[in-house]
Amino acid sequence: MVQFEYDGVMKRYNVKVPFTLAGESSMVTIAAMSETNRITLHREVSIKLLRQVLLSWDEYEHQMTKELDDLFDEDETKKKGDK
């Protein structure tokens, strides 16, 4: 499971994936996605994992855009109702 965590200081999304070592699981940052859709890899990753990250990013970005569109649509509906 790929997670994206926004870092407001660096203005980027940290890409985290699960990692297990000696029976202990945690999330490890493997890359960063900039606000301009550029990826910086912090670790060596397989092509398979990189594809999964890119597909997950595309889905995440689509979901964020959809949520923003929904918010704008709600605002327009409220403005029309006020008139």
| CA neighbours closer than 13 Å in the CB half-sphere of residue 7 | 14
Farthest CA pair distance, the chain:
63
Per-residue pLDDT of 4-14, as tens digits, reads 999 999 999 99
Per-residue pLDDT of 46-72, as tens digits, reads 999 999 999 999 999 888 888 777 776
**Which 3 state secondary structure label does DSSP give 54?**
helix
Q: What is the pTM of this model?
A: 0.73
